[in-house]
Amino acid sequence: MFTRAISKKPCRALIDGITTAQFVEPGEKPDYDLAVKQHDKYVEVLESLGLEVLDLDADERYPDSCFTEDPAVVMERCAVITNPATDSRNGEKEEILPAIRKFYADDQIFHIEAPGTMEGGDVMRVGDHFYVGLSDRTNEEGARQFNEIVTKFGYTSSTVPVTEGLHLKDFAIYLENNNMLVTEIVDKMDAFKDFNRIVIDPDELYAINSMYINGTVLVPEGYPKTLQIIKDLGYPTILVDTSEFRKIDGSLTCLSLRF
């Protein structure tokens, strides 16, 4: 059961966020005012599901800083400050720390240190196990340090390759109740063979990053096939418009830390 979330307001510099232009035409930039509205709506939805949301002020120094999922990984018994791999995002780890300190004691807070890199978008939790995606953003050493930290607190972790793009949770997402939305490539991975895997249409790749919160699944607006699949699995759903974040590869889970 999630009771809290940490989000951060988009800054004007958001328009210069890193993008692979995977989901949009090259050069298409987010509209800042619309991004702010979408962010506020996202926070409202989390609140409507019973979460107390700490919504941090915008920080113009870091274009991608509204994606609070990446600079930390939080769980009941500890928090791990990651080491974001890109220069323009690395400083976000300092900025998230005061927020993490509000909820965790000093001896519950740990850091991924260079040469380890990690971003929270690569960490997918299933019960007390964490699947860590090895990607351009998260390396073996980052995953090794993460494993060392979380095992001290009774969790486990293992690695899986990310072969299709940015973060693991863009290609596989766990919706609880053994259900996992996946791409065709992830579907074939041994690591996930025991889950009830549902392969999402490549046309709707972006909607894999739907988000389970306390029994309900938030689904990005504009992906009818995935929405129907999630409904057919029996979940109540809430549509959330993330069109402006999508332009810079941001999706639902990226926009908060939940715990």
Q: What are the catalytic residues?
A: 167, 254
- Yes or no: say if 176 and 212 are a contact pair by the CB < 8 Å rule: yes
Taking phi over 0 as left and psi of -120 to 50 as alpha, with beta for the rest, 54 belongs to beta
Residue for token digits 């990651």?
A: 82
User: Is there a contact between 160 and 182 (Cβ–Cβ < 8 Å)?
Assistant: no
Q: Does 150 bind ligand CIR (CB under 6 A)?
A: no
For ligand CIR, the binding residue among 30, 121, 142, 220 (CB under 6 A) is: 121
For residues 10-39, which are near ligand CIR according to CB under 6 A?
17-19
In the bound state, the residue with its beta carbon closest to ligand CIR is: 121
Vertex 138, ends 136 and 139: CA angle to 5°? 95
Cβ of residue 88: shortest distance to ligand CIR, in angstroms? Answer: 8
Q: Is 70 in the site for ligand CIR (CB under 6 A)?
A: yes
Among 10, 30, 133, 250, binds ligand CIR (CB under 6 A): 250
- Identify which of residues 89 and 197 has a Cβ nearer to ligand CIR in the complex: 89
Instruction: Choose between 39 and 167: whose C-beta lies nearer to ligand CIR.
Output: 167
Strands (DSSP E) found in the chain: 4-8, 52-56, 72-74, 79-81, 109-111, 123-126, 129-134, 156-161, 172-174, 179-182, 196-199, 211-213, 216-220, 237-240, 257-258
Shortest gap between Cβ of 103 and ligand CIR (angstroms)? 20
Number of Cβ within 10 Å of residue 246's Cβ equals: 21
Residue 89 found at the interface with ligand CIR (CB under 6 A):
yes
How distant, in Å, are the alpha carbons of 83, 141, 179 from that of 145? 11, 6, 28
Q: Is 143 helix (H, G, I), strand (E, B) or coil?
A: helix
**Nearer of residues 138 and 179 to ligand CIR, judged by Cβ:** 138
- Figure out which of the listed residues 207, 217, 248, 257 binds ligand CIR, where binding follows CB under 6 A: 248
Pick one of 55, 64, 92, 244: the residue that binds ligand CIR (CB under 6 A): 64
The count of residues interacting with ligand CIR (CB under 6 A) is 16
Helix H or strand E encompassing 232: helix 224-232
8, 39, 93, 167: which one binds ligand CIR (CB under 6 A): 167
Interface contacts to ligand CIR, rule CB under 6 A = 17-19, 64, 67, 69-70, 89, 120-121, 166-167, 248-250, 254
